[in-house]
Structure 1
Amino acid sequence: MVKIDPFAIEQWMDKYETTPGVLNIAETCAASISIDDLVALCEDPNTEPPLKPSTKLTYGPIRGSPTLRQRLASLYSVRVPTPLPADNILITPGAIAANFLLLYTLIGPGDHVVCMYPTYQQLYSVPESLGAEVSRWKLRREKKFIPDLDDLKSLVRENTKMIIINNPNNPTGATVPKSVLQGLVDFARERDILIFSDEVYRPLFHSISPTDAEFPPSMLSMGYEKTIVTGSMSKAYSLAGIRIGWIASRDCSVIESLASARDYTTISVSQLDDQVASYTLSESVIHSLLARNIQLAKTNLALMESFISQHGYACSWVKPTGGTVAFIRFEKKGVLVDDVQFSIDVIENTKVMFAPGSECFGEEFKGYVRIGFVCETDVLREALEKLGEYVRENLV
């Protein structure tokens, strides 16, 4: 029997997010939208609606509809010499299924994996459960949670099969600069190591401009064939409820191996979900949706920045540059709080919910909490007001 560690962040969410009256700033999706909201964002009135009542609800295309796969392939074909073929995209039930399928198929006993850390626990616990050795490529606060390539070089072994990154990063909100990505590609290519990039928060970049020389492209755009990326409609696209994720790679053999393993877990995704995702990624919708979410992130980040400034005696951060999350460190008179008890006490006394760092991301993150700040602005504002009152009463 495969043994795997309990998935701490998911268990925390399951335990507390249904608390009556909760102000949930633990959620990591950009504020969710309805089908009506999605249609209202459409810039072309001639675009067909996202759900076609005449569709017969068969399994549908096994690997995902041609429309959806082509629209995703187009996103990975910007500013690259060779467009990505639609056949190099595989649709899955969310990015969590994409990640699991990728690791299950490619990693096994005797393999060594290097994984960025902290990150979503699935990315290191699943390889460990499959019998691989995992070394953690640690992000450091003093380096603004940007990975150090020298640290990576000290971790790699003769049997290193895969390097795993998460960009933008969960839980820190840091983005890996283009120059670091290029260094990673050069290093991996020399050693013929697979790169797996979890890009579930891409392309929600709120604090770095696409014109910036260090703006991070998708790893799939970096010219290294042995790169695999995963993504989702849940985070940057506000549609967690349709459960659509994907795997993309320029290596056709990898895609075929994943498709073969996928047969044991997923016949197809829901045709209805596929239709909504295809509509969302159309030219008439995607730009207005992303503009909405980037503006929401900027507005809410300003609220977060104001909160940190006002309560600097008790909390601090490395300001995030992408994605939907921030990693905040709390202390009382110079001593780090017990983040688990702090999180429980806050939710019990104020109904404000966030995720404790040591419980959900590792013991070395005692004192940290993760806040998902790209929720509805009114929710964040109320949550920060209540949290501020608690901090002033208890952490002075």
Structure 2
Amino acid sequence: MVKIEPFEVEQWMDRLETTPGSLNVAETCAASVSVDDLIQLCEDKDAASPLLLSRKLTYGAIRGSEALRQRVASLLDRASDAEPLPADNVVITQGAIAANFLTLYTLVGPGDHVICVYPTYQQLYSVPESLGSEVSLWKLKKENGYVPDVRELKGLVQANTKMIVINNPNNPLGSTIPRAILEDIVAFARPKGIIILSDEVYSPLYHSLPAGVEAPPSILALGYEKTIATGSMSKAFALAGIRTGWIASRDKSIIDAVAAARDYTTISVSQLDDQVASYALSRPVVGPLLKRNTELARANLGLLSAWVDKYAEVCSWVKPTAGTTALLQFRKDGVPVDDASFVLDLLDKTKVLVMPASPCFGLGKDFRGFVRMGYVCETAVLLEALPKLGRYVEETLMAKK
């Protein structure tokens, strides 16, 4: 039997996010939109309906509709130095979580070595381990702004290294791997034939980069064939409910392999989900949708940044530049709090929900005192949650003996 570690962040979310009356600032999606919202955002008021209700609900196109796969390919081609990505090099999946699992299930196993950035979404290192691969963690450091140091790859790589896994933007840190670093990773991997898997589920929500700094492209834009990008409609596109994601690669043999492996699992995605995703990524909609989510992220990050500044005595962070999540560390008398206990007590006393980093993103005590906050919720939720969090901090962490 395959042994897989408990998926801690998902189990914590499953247990707590339905707490009655909770203010959920643990959610990692940009505040969700409806189909009606998409129609209102559409710049072409004569555009066809998102759903063709007369279409027979067969399995549909097994790898995803031509329209959706082409729109995903166009999304990944931004700032590309390479030839346009063909639609045939994209497979549509049930969210990015299925995309990541299917990619790893297909490509790595016993005898393989995988290098994975850390911290990141636990799936990206726990699944290769469950499949029998050896995993080395490429630890991100605060002093580097949580950007990977490519020089460290020389000490991590082995003769059997099959894959390097990155996450851009990063969950839970909200940090960005810039283009120059991506190019260095490609330059390291190419002569060794190492596959690069880039989880880009929060891309292209690069909302707070320093002035003059350009958003990085997809890993597929850098001209290396053995690159894979996964993503979904859930985070940057605010459509988690349609459970639609993708796997894309410059290497057609990789796409054919994951498509063949998927025959044993889901076969295809829902035609209804495919239609809504295709509409959301269409030219008249995708621009306004990303503009809405980018502006929401910037505004909410400004509110959270002001809060962190106010409570700098007991709270610190590296301010995110992208995505929807931030990692905050809380201290009492200079000592990091027990973040799991902090989260449960906070929820009990204030109904504010955040996620503890030590059990959900840390191995051992790597992230003691840290909590992950999802700040790209509806602004009204954040405006209600932050004062309650502030009062709790004042009463429990700042109270004088």
Q: TM-score range by the shorter chain?
A: over 0.9
What residue is the counterpart of 1:179 in the other structure? 180
Change (3 A) 1:113 1:292: same
What residue is the counterpart of 1:188 in the other structure? 189
1:30–1:324: 8 Å Cα contact kept in structure 2?
yes
Secondary structure of 1:285's counterpart equals helix
What residue is the counterpart of 2:68 in the other structure? 68
What residue is the counterpart of 2:78 in the other structure? 78
Distance in 2 (alpha carbons) for counterparts of 1:78 and 1:304:
30
What residue is the counterpart of 2:140 in the other structure? 139
Aligned positions of 1:276-291 closer than 5 A: 276-291=276-291
Structure 1 residue 77 displacement after superposition: 2.5
Secondary structure of 1:91's counterpart equals strand
Secondary structure of 1:284's counterpart equals helix
Distance in 1 (alpha carbons) for counterparts of 2:203 and 2:10:
21
Aligned residue type for 2:378: E
1:63–1:259: 8 Å Cα contact kept in structure 2?
yes
Structure 1 residue 178 displacement after superposition: 1.1
Residues 67-91 of structure 1: per-residue CA shift (max 9 Å, x gap)? 1011111122334341110000000
What residue is the counterpart of 1:387 in the other structure? 389
Matched, 1:95 2:99: no
What residue is the counterpart of 2:379 in the other structure? 377
2:78–2:217: 8 Å Cα contact kept in structure 1?
no
When normalised by structure 1's length, the TM-score is: 0.98
What residue is the counterpart of 1:122 in the other structure? 123
Aligned residue type for 1:2: V
What residue is the counterpart of 1:223 in the other structure? 223
Distance in 2 (alpha carbons) for counterparts of 1:378 and 1:286:
24
Secondary structure of 1:254's counterpart equals helix
The percentage of counterpart residues that share the same residue type is 63
Structure 1 residue 297 displacement after superposition: 0.2
Distance in 1 (alpha carbons) for counterparts of 2:27 and 2:395:
26
Aligned positions of 1:1-396 closer than 5 A: 1-80=1-80, 81-208=82-209, 212=213, 215-362=215-362, 363=364, 364-396=366-398
Distance in 2 (alpha carbons) for counterparts of 1:62 and 1:331:
51
Distance in 1 (alpha carbons) for counterparts of 2:341 and 2:142:
23
Q: Which runs of 5+ in 1 are unaligned?
A: none
Change (3 A) 1:188 1:208: same
What root-mean-square deviation, in Å, do the aligned CA atoms of Structure 1 and Structure 2 show?
1.0
Distance in 1 (alpha carbons) for counterparts of 2:358 and 2:310:
25
Distance in 2 (alpha carbons) for counterparts of 1:123 and 1:97:
11
Structure 1 residue 142 displacement after superposition: 1.6
Secondary structure of 2:60's counterpart equals coil
Distance in 1 (alpha carbons) for counterparts of 2:245 and 2:180:
27
Aligned residue type for 2:149: D
1:76–1:83: 8 Å Cα contact kept in structure 2?
no
Distance in 2 (alpha carbons) for counterparts of 1:322 and 1:365:
20
Residues 286-337 of structure 1: per-residue CA shift (max 9 Å, x gap)? 0000000000000000001010010001100000001000000000110000
Aligned residue type for 2:326: A
Distance in 1 (alpha carbons) for counterparts of 2:317 and 2:113:
32
1:165–1:196: 8 Å Cα contact kept in structure 2?
yes
2:77–2:218: 8 Å Cα contact kept in structure 1?
no
Distance in 2 (alpha carbons) for counterparts of 1:386 and 1:40:
34
Distance in 2 (alpha carbons) for counterparts of 1:52 and 1:383:
40
Q: How many residues align structurally? A: 395
Distance in 2 (alpha carbons) for counterparts of 1:387 and 1:210:
31
Distance in 2 (alpha carbons) for counterparts of 1:23 and 1:302:
19
Secondary structure of 2:155's counterpart equals helix
Distance in 1 (alpha carbons) for counterparts of 2:320 and 2:344:
24
Secondary structure of 1:236's counterpart equals coil
Structure 1 residue 383 displacement after superposition: 0.7
2:296–2:379: 8 Å Cα contact kept in structure 1?
yes
2:350–2:389: 8 Å Cα contact kept in structure 1?
yes
Distance in 1 (alpha carbons) for counterparts of 2:24 and 2:13:
10
Structure 1 residue 209 displacement after superposition: 6.8
When normalised by structure 2's length, the TM-score is: 0.97
Aligned residue type for 1:111: D
